[in-house]
Amino acid sequence: MNTNLIHKIRTSFQETFKTEPLMIFSPGRINIIGEHTDYNDGFVFPAAVNKGIVAAIGKSDSKNSSIALAVDKNEIVKICLNDLKPSAEGSWQNYVLGVVAEIQNRSKTIGNFNIAFGGDIPGGAGMSSSAALENSVVFGLNELFDLGLSKEDMILISQKAEHNYVGVKCGIMDQYASMFGIENHALLLDCRTVKSKPFKIEFKDHELILINTNVKHSLSDSAYNDRRSVCESIASMLKVKALRDASEFDLESIKDKVSPENYQKALYVIQENERAVKASKAMEAGDLKTLGKLIYASHNGLQKQYKVSCNELDFLVEQAKLNGHVLGARMMGGGFGGCTINLIEKTETASFKAFVSEAYKNQFNKECSIYSVKLSNGTGIIQ
């Protein structure tokens, strides 16, 4: 955990609100495999990481309003608890407002509060800073006002906030991984039952690194909602609850009733769901070569079938393929920018970083950023 960040957020809260806060850390997440399967009731393989949101929160004496301070942006917003409505599209306030509104929708009473927060998740990296922020708010308010919410309740509140205030019809993976993460483990999560099986990550001579394209193409949110509606409409044509319940054989039966593009999107989801389960078996068997092949196949599907990649992501994956010491690479997250996740031999990491940084700069006249991450525990109080 980032001690400098914790100090910065605590100090900002103390200086602004003149009281001692409750301190919360809520992690971002990576997803080893299983992309765009969560809103299809499928399987995903995420892990919480040691980058995230630190929030300082406390009760307020104010009779009129609560205050949220985004320390990194140096922006402050007043929140009137009995007159909540979304802010402008794309503003950070909606993550906080949405959580408060969804808590109230459950007939829970909260008083006025002050919150200051900041993070070290790179923006637009596809590591779910939004879910980390939502979880930090709901977790903090649950503690402050003794709301009696379970962690399961909290992640559903965070998800609803994203649906109803942010306007992104996300699945449950991001909130779940951020809330329930276990140090040194990834979670094979069944998004229908919202139950997971932890897998201890022992990559031995290999490690995961993230390469951030440092681009975020504007398509992302609208394309995300569009993909979701395609999946729902094909599931409805197949008379199943979600694409998780369909096989390639089932999909073949309606091939002449859907566009070739939408057929490929549904096929990708069905195949990716199978890949996530196979990846968990490969990991259990310590078969990193098979895991790497599945990760490469996932990117191929995201690029060519689901069409949520972009030139920068594809370029980074192609560079990884040129290096025999990288077992697998793929785009991670919603798409159209953000990071690739790479499974690489530790002894080769330094030279690969240097090679790929130079190649990316030459190709796009832009820097990429490279991070190593550790797998962390989920949202909790900072002692």
Q: Which sequence positions are flagged as catalytic?
A: 174
Strands (E) in 7-109, as ranges, are 22-31, 43-44, 46-59, 66-70, 75-79
90 contacts 142 by C-beta, under 8 angstroms: no
In a 3-state reduction of DSSP, which class is residue 230? helix
**CB-based contacts of 146, cutoff 8 Å, min separation 6:** none
Distance CA 25, CA 53 (A): 6
Among candidates 65, 63, 121, which has minimal Cα distance to 92? 121
Q: Please measure the distance between the N-terminal and C-terminal CA atoms of the chain and give it in whole angstroms.
A: 12
Among candidates 196, 269, 349, which has minimal Cα distance to 36? 269
| DSSP 8-state secondary structure symbol assigned to residue 367 | -
How large is the greatest C-alpha to C-alpha distance in the chain, in angstroms? 66
